[in-house]
Structures are given as structure tokens and as C-alpha cells.
Amino acid sequence: MRVLSFSEISTALDCQARHDYRYGDQLAGSSLKPKTVVPILSEGKAWGAAVAAWHVTGDGENAIKAMDTSLAQDMMEQIEFGIYDEDAHDAMRTGLLAMLIHYTDTAEAVQMDPILERELLVPIPSRSGRRKSNRYRLLCYLDATSTTDAGSVWIEEFKLRGRLSDVGLIIRSPQIRWYAWAYWQATGIKPAGVNVTERLREAPKPPRLVKGRKKPYDLTPSHAKDQLCTADAYLAVCNEYGVEPDMATADSLRSRRWQQRVPVVFRDGELEDAGRALVSAAKLIRDLDSGELYPLRNAHPGNCNGCAFNEICDDPTSTVVDALFDRQPPKRDRQPEGAAK
């Protein structure tokens, strides 16, 4: 069985060379796993678990428990592989907790179904599209679902972002359609759409203080509009220091969006189209696995900047490769993970 994920498919679509380094073996003779990059705990997964638990129960303590359970699972896996970083774990938990507290104080609670964090493994349609493939499966994880009073089911996705996405990009995302398609195949219930809730990967910070322009140059509140504090905190610190607030700054801080919830409604036939797109994705992975397609490098800043394979991409046969990476079998030869076991 060959298990595909949104992450693998999107990697192949972005840059086939990066896909080969991570999942294949044509360029380097094996898949490569970086030695020097300590895996970051899955804050996105922990965030999704925490927020979903809060929406279901309305209880902040339950949300923190769900977050800690997710982080603990990652911690145990990292300890097993000898890559656990306690400081990174503690820093991540502190940051997530601050964001969670702010989120529950400011976001609108939405009633969600009690079953959380569903793992789905469903057959992708065969090449003809008329039956299910006996080889390719799509593995995906759903944060939650909700059901309207009229009985319509919605997928609920929670995302952490460095900045909130353009709504048009969210609407065109293939991931939400593939996840909704997988839910339909697994349950027989066709979702009406997906609610994507994005959260800025920041919590409000204290207002910024700067040196005054006049002697004795004591600290005074900053009027910068880019500081990550709330308008109320800014006005409070101005009052504390006896400084006239800049109302333009207060308005800018008040208008900052810390999170957004975007509903994506599916038109008739859209989920059927998602299934057909997955057939094409499976064909692409099949041709890369078999060597029928030789991996293309898609070099541009969006792909290369931050890529783990940047240093060896020009020469994957160099002796430097074994100094920087551990070799492992290509994904087609590995034991499937998650529900695939």
C-alpha cells in the first residue's frame, strides 16, 4: 500500500527534486533525513487539538489538557529517537498557552461535534476513476466537524500562521477539498463546506517603551503602529506614564486581526472534482516512484529559501551528503505510518 498525504503531494507539485530527496531515491540513491535540524514539535497539531477541545466543551482547562496531550505524544517520539529538546518544548508550550488564552478571550465560540481529531485513510480512485485504487490511499487528519441546525456537516480546520492568509488563497486550497472528499468517502456524508480558522502565531505583548527625546531621557510609551499589543494596553500604558496617546496608533492596533474564520462552501460537483485531482496526484507520485519521471528542480526563492536540501541540491552525490543527512529507504519501501499500519 502506498500512502499519500497532502504534504507529500504539495511537495511534488512545488519541486520534484525536493520530493525526491525527502521521499524518493533517484537523485541521492536514498531518501535523506537532515541530521542537524532538530524537528520542531508539532505546534500546529497541538493548536488544532486545543482549539477544537475548547469549541466542543467551552472549557479552557480541557483545551490546555488537549494541547498538553498532543505535545506529550510528540515529546515521547522525540525521546525515543534521541532528538528531544526540553527548552524547545517548554518554549513552544509557553507560546501556545499565551495564544490559547488570548484566543479564548476574543474568539466567538462555535458549537462543534464531540468527535475530535479524526484520522482518515481512504482509497484514491483508480486511474479510470470508476473504482477505488487497490494501491494508493490518502491519509489525512481532521481537527473537528460541526453540524448545522439543518443537518449539514462542515469540516473544521484550525491553522497557525505567521500572517493571516488572503481569503482567495484559502478558498482555492486543494487541502480542504481533499480532506472533505476523504470524509465523504469514509462516512458517506458529503460535507457542505469547510470552515478554516486561522490564528496569527503571536500573542499580544506588553506595549513597547522607548527612551524619551528630552532629558533625562526616561522611558516613555512608543507610538509605533507595528507593535504587537492591544489598543487597550497601549491606552493604559499612555495613561500610566501621563502621555497623550496617538489615536491613529490606537486605531491601528484596534484594527489588527489576530484570527479569522473563513467559510468555504462547495458547489455541486466540486468534491467529485477533488477526487479526480487526486487521481492525477497519484499518477504523478507513481511516475516519480517508478523513475518514469526524472525529478525536475523548480528553483526560485519560494522553493529554495529555507529548503533543507539547499546545500546539496547541486550535487547530491557529494560526500557532504552523508555528513549532513541520514539515509533511509524511499517512502514506497517504508512501513506506512498512522492509520496505514
Indicate if the pLDDT at residue 131 is higher than 90: no
Tell me what the mean pLDDT of segment 139-157 comes to.
95
Q: How many CA atoms lie within 13 A of 182 on its CB side?
A: 25
Q: What is the DSSP string of 254-274?
A: HH--SEEEEEEEPPTTHHHHH
Q: Tell me the percentage of the chain whose pLDDT exceeds 90.
A: 81
Spatial separation of the C-alpha atoms in residues 175 and 325, rounded to whole Å: 29
Task: Give pTM, 2 decimals.
Answer: 0.88
Spatial separation of the C-alpha atoms in residues 50 and 68, rounded to whole Å: 8
Spatial separation of the C-alpha atoms in residues 140 and 124, rounded to whole Å: 12
Tell me what the mean pLDDT of segment 57-70 comes to.
94
Q: At a CB cut-off of 8 Å and minimum separation 6, what does 13 contact? A: 281, 284
Indicate if the pLDDT at residue 22 is higher than 50: yes
Is residue 105 packed enough to be buried (19+ CB in 10 Å), middle (13-18) or exposed (0-12)?
Answer: exposed
pLDDT tens string 266-275: 999 999 999 9
Indicate if the pLDDT at residue 41 is higher than 90: no
pLDDT tens string 104-113: 999 999 999 9
Tell me what the mean pLDDT of segment 135-140 comes to.
95
Tell me what the mean pLDDT of segment 39-63 comes to.
88
Distance from chain centroid for Cα 268: 28
CB atoms under 10 Å from CB of 274, counted, come to 19
Taking the domains of the chain in order of start, what are their residue ranges? Answer: 38-109, 209-255
Q: Which of 194-198, 215-219, 297-301 is least confident?
A: 215-219
